Amino acid sequence: MKFTPTKTDYELSPYTGLTRESWIEAAEYLLSGIFGNIKSIEDPVVMPRYETEVTYPSKDAPMWRYKAEIFEGLCRSFFISAPLIHIRPDLVLNGINVRDYYKKQVLYAVTKGEKNYVLNYSDMKELDKSGNPCACFQQTVETAALVICLWLSKDEIWETYTKEEKDRIAAFLSDFAHSNTVPQNWRLFNMLDLAFLNMYGYEIDEDIMRDHAQNILNYYVGQGWYRDGQSFDYYSCWAFNMYTAIWNQWYGYEKEPYIAKKFEENSNELMKTYPLFFDRDGFTNMWGRSGIYRNAATSSFDGNLLMNNPAIDPGLARRICSGSLLQFLSRDDFLWEGVPTLGFYGPFVPLVQSYSCAESPMWLAKALLCLHLPADHPFWTSKENIGPWEDLKENETLVTTLDGPGLCMANHEANGITELRTGKMVKDKTDLHGIWNYGKLVYNTKFPWDSVNKDGVQSQQYVVTYLDEEHPVAITPNACFWHGEKDGVLYRRHFFEYETQTETHWRTAINIADFAVPYGIMRADKIRMFRRPLRITLGAFGFPDNGTEVIKKEKDGFKAVILKGHDHTGKEKQLAFTIMDGWDNIDLIHSKNTNPDSENSIILYADTKREKQYGYEPYFLISQVITKESLEDFSDDDIFPVKSIEYTDPQKCGGYGPVRISLKNGDCKVIDFEGIEGNLQL
């Protein structure tokens, strides 16, 4: 059953209708589904499970993994309930008083001998036989959620514990806070544990706190973004820019003012461009790992509002938060047995990581932390607005490029869609899951990535097959180096089978150059090959196939295929893929269970071959993908926008020199890869 708010106000919220009361309804909707699976106040938050191959605990998992699932369910569902408990302390669901339930279950979790005890760090370290001196465990993650929730419901739960009970909880937290953690965003979990303990008068090691905090600060790359491990994704937003705000309030502003000031400055810097990552409807892009957390990506707006001097426009922040909330909760496939699925919309295994369990998607409740803001806060009282979207002219695209994290957003007025182009990515060449999450050429808020891997075709991805092998295998680029934007063109490089022990000149690569057009992105990419013969394909976005009209067109010597249909919810969808120079054919394949929106999907793809080992054959591959949520025809100029393509070399292959692409609307882009070699970034 999808979420339908009963309390709306389209004067205050002209775009979504959602108010604080609507958000309270949404929290109750989520929590009701969870409590529908809890039979008594003694039962842990362990939810029904339909996926057992990827997620934990596996049948051979160590005992601590089963305990971790109990703790994950408790703390992540607490994210939903804690603000509600403060607002409605007498809330009863499935015959259970919610406040009493969490008060009891928190004590069970930290108390040795109780059935629902989840093990402290020392217990797990003693059980660990790996010999890893830096071993750390999932429970560390959940302790941060626990302390945040105890803070949000302090009057209703924390302050009602006896001193002995508080001391018991504190000892459990201290064991994690002062122990090993993962050297990336996990440091923030230890920092929050330490800050909570300090706030309530418990002794902590301030040097450990300071060491973690300076490390977090030094992960910063600029423009509000932090490098998490080797990647950039929404962890910068639902971890770094949410947890640092809470840490500032609890500890940083008083104890570490220099670091706290930097965290606030970084958050405010993020707010200058972060709204542009969402589309006109407030939709979140399916990008990066842990997509099962969905609209948790909006939590950094609440984080900014927690700072002493926030920069975000509260009316814009609520519009995005509410739009993203509806993106997921308004779908009829969002819940399974009352619990958010392991997917982006419905169940979608290609998105799921081995560190997730059935309860992991409840992490999306970070988006609901805004309910801690009082009813008279500007976040709730300001009128919704759509910020920069209001100022775009007809068919204008706002392009914003961030060199720090290697990210580029295109906000298209023509269709209201936001497209994200990413860089600075390296994954193991066998890690297709990681490549799909980070290495697609483009991520689209209304056409989430398709995991098709069939007949040498993948969505929004070049795929190369060496044809001189006895059993040719299609390979996917596993590294993206960032160069940046010049004269309206974004430059990157994709490497196939990238590995540090092999010189890059012995790896096939494609120099990427693309630029925004009103409804999408045009590509003018140049292949760099050390080996031929080979086949190259390029897939468009996966298209939800619930009955699709396929239209073929040719004009000006170019070919295009247009798809018209509807997504799972019945919304109109349209996609046009045009191939220009360098390509031989355009075709389509049908796929099943590879699209996060619909069971069936269609992927349009371009195809070409290069035969001679050292032949001077066409190097440039020029194409375009445009989309919209309407069945109204694209114009011929939308589908075939190119007036002329001018090459420097007389052979018109693009082997050297700039390539000039003139468009029918009068725009002109010059593609020039000279000099890219001197500035490739990871």
Spatial distance between the Cα atoms of 566 and 548, rounded to a whole number of angstroms: 8
Spatial distance between the Cα atoms of 362 and 341, rounded to a whole number of angstroms: 9
pLDDT at residue 129, as a whole number: 84
CB 631 within 8 Å of CB 574: yes
H or E element in which residue 418 lies: strand 418-422
Q: How far is CA 108 from CA 350, 607, 668, in A?
A: 35, 60, 66
Cβ-Cβ contacts under 8 Å for 594 (sequence gap 6 or more)? 350, 450, 451, 452, 453, 542, 601
Spatial distance between the Cα atoms of 111 and 451, rounded to a whole number of angstroms: 44
pLDDT at residue 133, as a whole number: 86
CB 320 within 8 Å of CB 278: yes
Enter the tokens of residue 573.
Answer: 């969808």
Instruction: Give 527-565 pLDDT, tens digit per residue.
Output: 998 999 999 999 999 999 999 999 999 999 999 999 999
DSSP state of 454: B
Q: Is the pTM of this model over 0.85?
A: yes
Spatial distance between the Cα atoms of 178 and 133, rounded to a whole number of angstroms: 14
CB 477 within 8 Å of CB 441: no
The structural domains of the chain, ordered by start, are: 20-390 (1.50.10), 392-678 (2.70.98)
Q: Exposed/middle/buried for 121, CB within 10 Å: 0-12, 13-18, 19+?
A: buried
CB 642 within 8 Å of CB 662: yes
Q: Exposed/middle/buried for 156, CB within 10 Å: 0-12, 13-18, 19+?
A: buried
Helix (H, G, I), strand (E, B) or coil at 20: helix
Helix (H, G, I), strand (E, B) or coil at 243: helix
What's phi and psi for 434, nearest 5 deg?
-65, -40
pLDDT at residue 444, as a whole number: 98
Helix (H, G, I), strand (E, B) or coil at 156: coil
- Locate tokens 């399974």: which residue? 336
Enter the tokens of residue 407.
Answer: 């990210």
Spatial distance between the Cα atoms of 119 and 440, rounded to a whole number of angstroms: 40
Sheet holding 520-528, edge to edge: 425-426, 477-486, 489-496, 509-517, 520-528, 620-628, 572-579, 558-566, 549-555
Amino acid 50 reads Y
Spatial distance between the Cα atoms of 655 and 262, rounded to a whole number of angstroms: 47
- Locate tokens 């418990």: which residue? 202
- 411 DSSP β-pair partners: 398, 418
Enter the tokens of residue 7.
Answer: 């309390």
Spatial distance between the Cα atoms of 112 and 638, rounded to a whole number of angstroms: 66
Helix (H, G, I), strand (E, B) or coil at 409: strand
Spatial distance between the Cα atoms of 382 and 37, rounded to a whole number of angstroms: 37
Cβ-Cβ contacts under 8 Å for 112 (sequence gap 6 or more)? none
| C-alpha dihedral, 460 to 321 to 308 to 187, nearest 10° | -50
Helix (H, G, I), strand (E, B) or coil at 453: coil
H or E element in which residue 464 lies: strand 462-466
Q: Exposed/middle/buried for 258, CB within 10 Å: 0-12, 13-18, 19+?
A: exposed
Point out the residues of the chain with pLDDT beneath 70.
none
The residue length of the chain stands at 682
Cβ-Cβ contacts under 8 Å for 26 (sequence gap 6 or more)? 3, 5, 325, 329, 368
- Locate tokens 């979504």: which residue? 16
Instruction: Give 431-488 pLDDT, tens digit per residue.
Output: 999 999 999 999 999 999 999 999 999 999 999 999 999 899 999 999 999 999 999 9
Helix (H, G, I), strand (E, B) or coil at 526: strand
Spatial distance between the Cα atoms of 406 and 260, rounded to a whole number of angstroms: 25
Q: Is the dihedral of CA 515, 520, 524, 527 positive or negative?
A: positive
Cβ-Cβ contacts under 8 Å for 639 (sequence gap 6 or more)? 553, 555, 560, 562, 576, 578, 626
Of 509, 496, 42, 443, nearest in space to 279 by CA: 443
